């Protein structure tokens, strides 16, 4: 990550990201061929800069400089200074940026520093395609989780219990930046995780969670891709924060569900108990966070970046933690997507109009798969035909 600064400080690189031209395309294509070892840094720098693109607005060169300075500041603020001269240079640089910042009214482009380079890295990683659940520990060890619903527990800040096996944890240096563990749950499996602070997390199929062996600092932050239910241990002095691709979900001690699959068009947060606030990672300085009360659903539209809040029956969004799903006038498409993830199977609709059929009911997913599919077929008045080991066609 240390080499990112040279790209974020390069005006030519920033212009290429925002307004590519044949000349710039050629320049950076040739650079990539000459320096293949830099491909990862180039992709990461592009991703970071694009996170700050303003919607429906053409940026001036001055604005681009301001944006890159803000991104650079986010990264460098997270890195420890090793030499005094770097501190003095940094102060002078940011003082100059501050003068320019306010002189041209760039406050309009400002947003609080809410994400870290590790967060961008987590979201840029490819999903690991495997039928096995995995825990990639902070020391690089890859632990295969064999059970259908593996249980991982941290206890006494010294031990990690995976199902019935106990592993010793390396003593944490509270003053050092901690590497993150990553729990990966593939389609067809679920998991339960007891975090070091006592927070309980239920992981749904096709999900990933990044977290430290011990929370340090003012907040307790985790990163999520997929779906999880959080039963947060109350700690008023250290808010619990869930970072997903577009949102920052913050609470003190509460129970809530987050569905943030990359393939879905919406990110849904449902509050069962307590209080949470939700903020768009790209929100302006004066944009208010959206606060939920129990029984509310906040749906973030990835295309419009708009958040809508509605009242819902929370059981419809949380019973999956018990191996159940309840649906009330839901699209057949949505139910099918849940079944695909839970059983690691695929469906094809012979007629796309069948996707919009509305059905209501309750399913116990732990039952035999064939019986569950037959019940869905009867409820929706359709036929579900098996085409292969894990492939089905839905037809009238």
Question: Along the 396 residues of the chain, how does pLDDT read in single tens digits?
Answer: 456 667 776 777 877 877 777 778 788 888 888 888 888 788 777 777 766 554 444 455 445 445 555 555 555 554 544 444 454 445 455 445 444 444 444 444 444 445 555 554 555 455 555 678 999 888 888 888 888 889 999 887 778 888 877 777 766 555 556 678 999 999 999 999 999 999 999 999 999 999 998 898 889 999 999 999 999 999 989 999 999 987 899 987 899 999 999 888 999 999 999 999 998 877 655 568 899 999 999 999 988 889 999 999 999 999 999 989 888 888 999 999 999 999 999 999 999 999 999 999 889 987 788 999 999 999 999 999 999 888 999 999
Helix extents (H) in the chain: 4-8, 11-18, 22-34, 39-50, 61-78, 84-103, 117-124, 315-318, 332-343, 369-380
User: Which residue, among 230, 170, 183, has the nearest Cα to 211 in the 3D structure?
Assistant: 183
**Which pLDDT belongs to residue 368?**
85
| Predicted local confidence at residue 104, as pLDDT | 41
Note the pLDDT of residue 112.
46
CB 191 within 8 A of CB 133: yes
Number of CB atoms found within 10 A of residue 118's CB = 17
Name the 3-class secondary structure at 303.
Answer: coil
Alpha-carbon distances of 381 from 38, 271, 367, 377, rounded to whole Å: 55, 33, 21, 6
Question: Of the candidates 294, 225, 216, which has an alpha carbon nearest to the alpha carbon of residue 254?
Answer: 294
- Domains in the chain, CATH or no CATH each: 4-109 (no CATH), 117-315 (2.60.120.1440), 323-395 (3.55.50.30)
Quote the pLDDT of residue 355: 93
Note the pTM of the prediction, 2 decimals.
0.70
Q: Which two tokens stand for residue 291?
A: 């606060």
Q: What is the pLDDT of residue 71?
A: 52
- What would you report as the CA-atom Rg of the chain, rounded to the nearest whole angstrom? 23
Q: Residue 26 and residue 64: Cα distance in Å, rounded?
A: 21
Q: What is the pLDDT of residue 170?
A: 66
């Amino acid at each position: 990550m240390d080499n990112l600064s040279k790209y974020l400080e390069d005006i030519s690189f920033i212009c290429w990201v925002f307004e590519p031209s044949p000349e710039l395309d050629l320049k950076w294509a040739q650079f990539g061929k000459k320096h293949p070892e830099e491909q990862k840094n180039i992709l990461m720098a592009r991703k970071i800069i694009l996170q700050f693109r303003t919607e429906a607005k053409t940026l001036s060169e001055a604005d681009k400089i301001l944006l890159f300075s803000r991104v650079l500041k986010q990264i460098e603020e997270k890195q420890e200074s090793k030499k005094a001269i770097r501190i003095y240079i940094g102060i002078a640089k940011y003082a100059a940026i501050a003068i320019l910042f306010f002189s041209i009214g760039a406050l309009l482009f400002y947003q609080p520093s809410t994400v870290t380079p590790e967060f961008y890295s987590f979201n840029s990683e490819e999903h690991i395609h495997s039928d096995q659940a995995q825990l990639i520990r902070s020391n690089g060890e890859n632990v295969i989780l064999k059970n259908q619903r593996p249980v991982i527990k941290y206890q006494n800040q010294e031990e990690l219990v995976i199902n019935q096996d106990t592993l010793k944890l390396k003593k944490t240096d509270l003053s050092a930046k901690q590497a993150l563990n990553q729990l990966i749950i593939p389609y067809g499996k679920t998991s339960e995780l007891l975090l070091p602070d006592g927070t309980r997390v239920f992981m749904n199929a096709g999900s990933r969670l990044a977290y430290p062996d011990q929370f340090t600092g003012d907040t307790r932050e985790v990163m999520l891709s997929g779906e999880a239910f959080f039963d947060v241990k109350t700690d008023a002095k250290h808010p619990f924060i869930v970072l997903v691709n577009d949102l920052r979900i913050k609470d003190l001690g509460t129970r809530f569900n987050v569905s943030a699959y990359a393939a879905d068009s919406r990110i849904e947060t449902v509050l069962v108990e307590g209080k949470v606030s939700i903020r768009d990672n790209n929100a302006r300085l004066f944009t208010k966070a959206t606060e939920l009360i129990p029984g509310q659903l906040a749906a973030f539209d990835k295309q419009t970046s708009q958040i809508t809040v509605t009242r819902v029956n929370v059981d419809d969004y949380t019973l999956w933690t018990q191996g159940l799903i309840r649906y009330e006038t839901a699209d057949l498409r949505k139910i099918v997507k849940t079944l695909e993830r839970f059983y690691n199977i695929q469906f094809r609709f012979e007629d796309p109009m069948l996707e919009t059929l509305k059905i209501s009911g309750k399913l116990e997913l732990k039952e035999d798969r064939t019986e569950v599919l037959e019940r869905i077929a009867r409820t929706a008045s359709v036929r579900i035909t098996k085409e292969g080991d894990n492939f089905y066609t839905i037809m009238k």
